[in-house]
Chains A and B, each alone.
Chain A
Amino acid sequence: MRAFGYARPADAGEAAALLRAGARAMGGGTDLLTQLDRGILPADEVVDLRALGLSGIEHDGGGVRIGATTSVADVERDAGIGERFPGLRQAAGAVGSPQLREMGTVGGNLCQQVRCWYFRHPDLQCWLRGGETCYAQIGDHRKHGLEPGDCISVAPSDLAAALLVLDAEVETTGRRMPLADLYRKATAERRSTLVLEPGEFLTAVEVPRAPDASTYVIAGERAAWSFALVGVAAARFGDDVRMAAIGVSNLPRPLDPDDPAAGLPGLEMTRWKRRLLETLASDARAAVGR
């Protein structure tokens, strides 16, 4: 582990200033520390956001507001979420291991970096990290995404899929937007899958209303403690079914419930994932009763 500075400000303005100066934001550190250890998006300073009073779950009318530094385990344990947003509870329970869920935060989970063994390789600088080559597309991409593009890594946030189908909104230090807008494709000029500006960080996520039914299903590489090969969330509001998936694109991706694999052709080595996606989408759809 390389040495770095650590700040835990109690003031959001101070945190934002440190972030603008190049520090990296930390929730539980479960993803960040593994990146810093390998020199991925290195930083000399880390800002722990957990002293800013951003933790907590509030049920209000039909909706729920979850502070950005609330632990994933607290989401999993919350009785109201379990009762009214079962898909969100399932997604929280699918994250990592019990230890990782205790440490990991909702904001950190939504903002974690993509999974790709080239992106995370200490000796390679891939396209998304500012290099010239997407090593995955010319290399071994057996677990990669199905969506064509400059980068075929996959978005790993189980919570993002579950929250997308609930029409969640996120609140940052400067604005409020639909969760879907937090993510965007990286470009040659801007190699990031998040829209956050320097100094900006998540403060809360809000779900406006409870669905009539919701679910989250995941296929991992082993029985527990595995990033999703594919994870599919579904929610039904009356007759309206929403679906979203992770593990198929480098963004959490809404799916067409009638044609879930549309726009996700995959490559020779990932074609199997289309079958997996279709199976999980069918399971999720069945679980929400349509």
Chain B
Amino acid sequence: MTAKLVKTEAVVEGRTEVRWTLVEEDDTPEFEDGAPTRPVGEPTPRISARARTTGSARYTVDVALPGLLEAVVLRSPHANARVTSLDLDAARAVPGVRCVLGPGEGPEHAGSPLTDAPAFAGAAIAVVAADTPDAAEAGVAALAPEYEVLGFVSTIDDGFEKQDFLEEPTEHVRGDPDAALSAAEVTVEASYAVPAQLHNSLEPHAAVADWREDGLTVWSSTQAIFDARSTIADAFGLEPDQVRIICEFMGGGFGSKFGVGPQGLLAAELSRRARRPVRLVNSRREENLAAGFRTPAKMDYTIGASRDGRLEAVEATAMIGMGTGGWPFPVLEPVKSVYACPNLRLMTAPVRMNLGPSAAFRAPGVMEGTFGFEQALDELAEKVGIDPIEIRRLNHTENDPESGKPYTSKGLLKAYERAAELAGWEGRDGLRGDGRVRRGMGVASQYWWGAGGPPAYAEVRIGKSARPTVTVGLQDLGTGTMTACAVIASERLGIPAGEITVHAGDTSRIGHGPASGGSMTLASIAPAVRMAAHSVRTDILGLAADMFEIAASDLTLEDGEIRSVDGTLREPVTEVTGKLGNAWISGSGSRGPNPDGMNVNTFGCQIAQIAVDTGTGAVTVERVVAVHDIGRVVNPMGARSQVMGGVLQAIGFALMEERVVDPTTGTVVNAGLEDYKVPTIADVPEVVCEFVGDPDPHLRMGVKGLGEPPIIPTAAAIGNALAHALGVRLREAPYTPRRVLEALGA
């Protein structure tokens, strides 16, 4: 098979990346219209379900090696300070302590994760590795740090006032917004604010590093094993092949676990120095102080429209509370991309604050921006007297409004129609009632990327027992990607998905696979797995053709059998593979580039029905109808799980989750799960989930991503439902009893 280098564009969470990548020629036939695709498109239980539920799954924190040292980090209690005294020698003298790193120390070729100028409460100052966790804690206590405490900034307004930006504010203009706004028949001004949401992955950030003469192995809870490998290799001046990253199972990441993080760098440096394996695991408190957050934002919109509800111009500003680091995510993307609007001015100011570095969090920027803009749009609908779904249809666009490029596929209008049907949208005004408990229904649109792209490689092997293995260079952060890989291979090989072993999460096994993020993973790897499986299928059928003297084109693989299309031959596939002895048949596959000149996006809409008790301020989400276009659905059971998870995480954002920073000390007061509330199973509403997208005609296999889409519109739909129920609009999330009662005049 010939391979060639191609240039390809991939959109990663709003940023376009151009890459050169090596791809092989792919002669795998596409699915034919109406032809069976099973088990692709049929519900398949997660292949790791038993391991995860019985506890046999090994997470990074479970890795135990002989001679393992435990590391504990000293963190600043102050929001901004200078360390004036630190007794590293006292820590080193504590029995059981094997290695201590202080400020500025770390891998030779990377910035140190340890500082003597902590700029947030929770910043890492030193790390102690010892024989036991108790000894490491004692070592940390012996450091006896002293501080000069400095002033700090803990609110977006204060940061803006100081004009202290993490990056220069940006302005984006389309058309002539000033003229269009002043000429607009109707204008609406609306402001919204969202707090920092903390990831709270069930599995904390963790790394186990084992430095040996012949190389370094790091077990890392990471969403990107290959990025982790290059970070470690660069930091220690090693060749990539000398570094092996392993991530067998993950308990979530939600965007906060790209790369190896400071845990990986510090564990590796401690292991290098101590010549012992080292484990470094965040406590829940450390997770909530120093492992990232969805950025808080204040959004202001001025919308100009025609009397009949057509958008003429939008001026929008977003002030984003970045903390001490991170990347300003596209909070105003929904204004730019979801609807046709000829004139825009979008201003974004990423403000520095004395809080930890922010991190991507499931649909970063876009989810918060959807919360604001989709509610502002409802305010416009109300002002011009148009139904909220109708105003969205009216402003629908068939091309990307920024570039004019067509979409490869767009099922948004179909999503509105189906969601309205499923939710009973027509009867929404009858829900309200006039008693103490009011009800409401609200809608919001969803826009995200999700094309995936190269490089992504897969290998499929089959040996004499006909139990295939699929090897992919990715990691499964809990989304079920590995199960989807088994499903895809199963369709080509005619062997049940449950009998297929998927190897992932190990950089030493195969070449590059996608990061788990940006709704890109499955869309990237799916065609590569199918191509590799098809190659194996072709070889098996070729051997069978010789053995049974029937043309390969008249043979097929189904239910573990080789069958002739005329039904005369049914032989177990082991009749062929059994002859392999210790040999095997293998096939490789790679992901090709996305089409030029077109945008690949996912779309959808959700409708939320809520009840609000006007006496207690309690908001209950009763039902969420989620209808999305994600192209071909590989595993509807996994896809539904993703939607449930996204909706529930958004309910947390809408109703209860909020990092609270003490104005007096600048420290986080709810950095734990007692006061930082996430939803429990009792908060789960009825979720009606449907996918309306056709397989994308411009993508191999027609698969688009799903990780982000379900979390994007839920909170906005809840906000719109709450306004519908109360006749009062709440402008700040989360909608706690306090905010509801205050909005009602308490």
Q: Which residues of A contact B (CB under 8 A)?
A: 2-3, 34, 97, 117-118, 120-124, 135, 138-140, 142-143, 219, 221-227, 229, 271-276, 279-280, 282-283
- Taken together as a complex, chains A and B put the C-alpha atoms of A272 and B738 apart, in Å, by 6
* Chain A residues in 8 Å Cβ range of B741: 272, 275-276
B616 touches A279 (CB 8 A): yes
- Taken together as a complex, chains A and B put the C-alpha atoms of A118 and B663 apart, in Å, by 12
* Chain B residues in 8 Å Cβ range of A122: 285
| Interface residue? B21 (CB, 8 A) | no
A221 touches B667 (CB 8 A): no
A139-B663, A222-B656, A274-B746 given; A117·B670 CB < 8 A: yes
A139 touches B615 (CB 8 A): no
A226 touches B677 (CB 8 A): yes
A139 touches B662 (CB 8 A): yes
A92 to chain B, nearest CB (A): 17
- Taken together as a complex, chains A and B put the C-alpha atoms of A282 and B436 apart, in Å, by 13
Given contacts A135-B664, A275-B746, 17 further A-B contacts (CB under 8 A): A117-B660, A117-B669, A117-B675, A121-B667, A122-B285, A139-B662, A140-B661, A219-B616, A221-B677, A221-B737, A222-B677, A222-B680, A222-B682, A225-B680, A226-B677, A272-B737, A282-B615
Interface positions, chain B 621-678, Cβ under 8 Å from A, are 655-656, 660-665, 667, 669-670, 674-675, 677
A138 touches B664 (CB 8 A): yes
| Interface residue? B463 (CB, 8 A) | no
A123-B121, A135-B664, A222-B682 given; A280·B616 CB < 8 A: yes
* Chain B residues in 8 Å Cβ range of A280: 616
A123 touches B680 (CB 8 A): no
B677 touches A224 (CB 8 A): no
* Chain A residues in 8 Å Cβ range of B134: 3
Interface positions, chain B 279-320, Cβ under 8 Å from A, are 285
Contact residues of B: prevailing secondary structure: loop
* Chain A residues in 8 Å Cβ range of B620: 223
* Chain B residues in 8 Å Cβ range of A2: 137
B682 touches A120 (CB 8 A): no
| A218: nearest chain-B partner, CB-CB | B616
- Taken together as a complex, chains A and B put the C-alpha atoms of A173 and B425 apart, in Å, by 64
B503 to chain A, nearest CB (A): 36
- Taken together as a complex, chains A and B put the C-alpha atoms of A272 and B620 apart, in Å, by 19
A221-B736, A226-B677 given; A279·B662 CB < 8 A: no
B607 to chain A, nearest CB (A): 21
A98 to chain B, nearest CB (A): 11
A272 touches B674 (CB 8 A): no
* Chain B residues in 8 Å Cβ range of A222: 655-656, 677, 679-680, 682-683
A96 to chain B, nearest CB (A): 10
| Interface residue? B148 (CB, 8 A) | no
Sort A-B residue pairs by CB-CB distance and give the 8 closest, nearest first: A279-B615, A275-B746, A123-B77, A223-B682, A224-B682, A117-B669, A272-B741, A272-B746
| Interface residue? B618 (CB, 8 A) | yes
* Chain A residues in 8 Å Cβ range of B121: 123
A90 to chain B, nearest CB (A): 16
Chain A to chain B contacts (Cβ below 8 Å), 11 pairs: A34-B674, A118-B662, A122-B285, A123-B667, A139-B662, A139-B669, A140-B661, A271-B746, A272-B737, A272-B738, A275-B615
**0/1 string, B594-633, CB within 8 A of A gives 1:** 0000000000000000000001111010000000000000
A54 to chain B, nearest CB (A): 27
Q: How many residues of B contact A (CB 8 A)?
A: 36
* Chain B residues in 8 Å Cβ range of A140: 660-663, 669
| Interface residue? B742 (CB, 8 A) | yes
A118 touches B616 (CB 8 A): no
| B132: nearest chain-A partner, CB-CB | A3
A285 to chain B, nearest CB (A): 13
* Chain A residues in 8 Å Cβ range of B661: 140
* Chain A residues in 8 Å Cβ range of B681: 224
**0/1 string, B716-746, CB within 8 A of A gives 1:** 0000000000000000000011100110101
A276 touches B617 (CB 8 A): yes
| A34: nearest chain-B partner, CB-CB | B674
Max chain B Cβ within 10 angstroms of own Cβ: one of A225, A272, A283: A272
| B77: nearest chain-A partner, CB-CB | A123
* Chain B residues in 8 Å Cβ range of A219: 616-618, 737
| A270: nearest chain-B partner, CB-CB | B738
- Taken together as a complex, chains A and B put the C-alpha atoms of A122 and B662 apart, in Å, by 14
* Chain A residues in 8 Å Cβ range of B663: 139-140
- Taken together as a complex, chains A and B put the C-alpha atoms of A2 and B140 apart, in Å, by 12
- Taken together as a complex, chains A and B put the C-alpha atoms of A171 and B466 apart, in Å, by 71
- Taken together as a complex, chains A and B put the C-alpha atoms of A149 and B285 apart, in Å, by 30
| B677: nearest chain-A partner, CB-CB | A221
* Chain B residues in 8 Å Cβ range of A282: 615
Max chain B Cβ within 10 angstroms of own Cβ: one of A124, A221, A222, A229: A222
- Taken together as a complex, chains A and B put the C-alpha atoms of A140 and B662 apart, in Å, by 6
* Chain B residues in 8 Å Cβ range of A279: 615-616
- Taken together as a complex, chains A and B put the C-alpha atoms of A79 and B559 apart, in Å, by 56
A277 to chain B, nearest CB (A): 10
- Taken together as a complex, chains A and B put the C-alpha atoms of A34 and B285 apart, in Å, by 12
B623 to chain A, nearest CB (A): 15
| B746: nearest chain-A partner, CB-CB | A275
- Taken together as a complex, chains A and B put the C-alpha atoms of A118 and B675 apart, in Å, by 11
* Chain A residues in 8 Å Cβ range of B736: 221
A142 touches B738 (CB 8 A): yes
A80 to chain B, nearest CB (A): 28
- Taken together as a complex, chains A and B put the C-alpha atoms of A214 and B77 apart, in Å, by 46
* Chain B residues in 8 Å Cβ range of A223: 620, 680, 682-683
A224 touches B680 (CB 8 A): yes
Which of B615, B618, B662, B677 makes the CB contact (< 8 A) with A135? B662
- Taken together as a complex, chains A and B put the C-alpha atoms of A271 and B739 apart, in Å, by 11
- Taken together as a complex, chains A and B put the C-alpha atoms of A123 and B617 apart, in Å, by 33
* Chain A residues in 8 Å Cβ range of B662: 118, 135, 139-140
* Chain A residues in 8 Å Cβ range of B667: 121, 123-124
B677 touches A276 (CB 8 A): no
A135-B662, A140-B669, A275-B746 given; A229·B682 CB < 8 A: no
* Chain B residues in 8 Å Cβ range of A271: 742, 746
A45 to chain B, nearest CB (A): 16
A140-B660, A275-B741, A280-B616 given; A135·B665 CB < 8 A: yes
- Taken together as a complex, chains A and B put the C-alpha atoms of A5 and B160 apart, in Å, by 51
| A283: nearest chain-B partner, CB-CB | B615
* Chain A residues in 8 Å Cβ range of B746: 271-272, 274-276
